[in-house]
Amino acid sequence: MESINLSTQLESNEKEITTVDLYDEATQDYEFWSKDFNMHFGYYSFNSTSLLKRDTMLNEMNNQVLKRLHVLKGDKTMIDLGCGVGNSMRYALSRNSDLKATGVTLSKYQVDLGNQLLEPYNTSIELQNYNNTSFDSNSFDAALAIESFCHGGHSITSLREAHRILKPGGRLVIADAFLKKNHQQLCSGGRFAYNKLCNHWDLDQLENINNYKFNLEQVGFKNVKVEDVSFRVAPSVLHVPFAIAGFVIKELFNKRTFKKESLHNLKGSFYALLSGLHMKSFGYYLITATKG
Q: Kindly report the average pLDDT of the chain as a whole number.
A: 90
Alpha carbon distances (Å) from 72 to 58, 108, 281: 17, 28, 34
Closest alpha carbon to 22 in 82, 65, 79? 82
Q: At residue 170, what are phi and psi to the nearest 5 degrees?
A: -70, 155
Alpha carbon distances (Å) from 160 to 36, 77, 105, 215: 31, 19, 18, 9
Q: What number of helices (H) and strands (E) belong to the chain?
A: 12, 7
In the prediction, which pLDDT does 17 show?
Answer: 65
Between helix 19-26 and helix 108-117 the angle, nearest 10°, is 40
Mean pLDDT of 32-39: 89
Checking if the pLDDT of 264 tops 90, the result is: no
Instruction: State the pLDDT confidence band at 189, using cuts at 50, 70 and 90.
Output: very high
| Sequence-separated (6 or more) residues with CB below 8 Å from residue 113 | 27, 85
Checking if the pLDDT of 200 tops 80, the result is: yes
Look up the pTM and report it.
0.90
Q: What percent of the chain has pLDDT over 90?
A: 72
Cα–Cα dist 214/184, whole Å: 19
Checking if the pLDDT of 137 tops 70, the result is: yes
Torsion angle (degrees, nearest 10) of CA 163, 168, 173, 176: 20
| Sequence-separated (6 or more) residues with CB below 8 Å from residue 20 | 106, 107
In the prediction, which pLDDT does 5 show?
Answer: 43
| Sequence-separated (6 or more) residues with CB below 8 Å from residue 245 | none
Q: Is residue 249 classed as helix, strand or coil in its secondary structure?
A: helix
pLDDT tens string 88-97: 999 999 999 9
In the prediction, which pLDDT does 204 show?
Answer: 86
Mean pLDDT of 185-204: 92
Cα–Cα dist 117/27, whole Å: 14
| Spatial contact of 131 and 157, defined as CB atoms under 8 Å apart | yes
* Tally of CB atoms within 10 A around 249: 10
Residues facing 149 on adjacent strands:
none
| Sequence-separated (6 or more) residues with CB below 8 Å from residue 39 | 27, 30, 33, 84, 85, 87, 147
Cα–Cα dist 145/109, whole Å: 19
Mean pLDDT of 108-122: 94
In the prediction, which pLDDT does 4 show?
Answer: 35
In the prediction, which pLDDT does 124 show?
Answer: 94
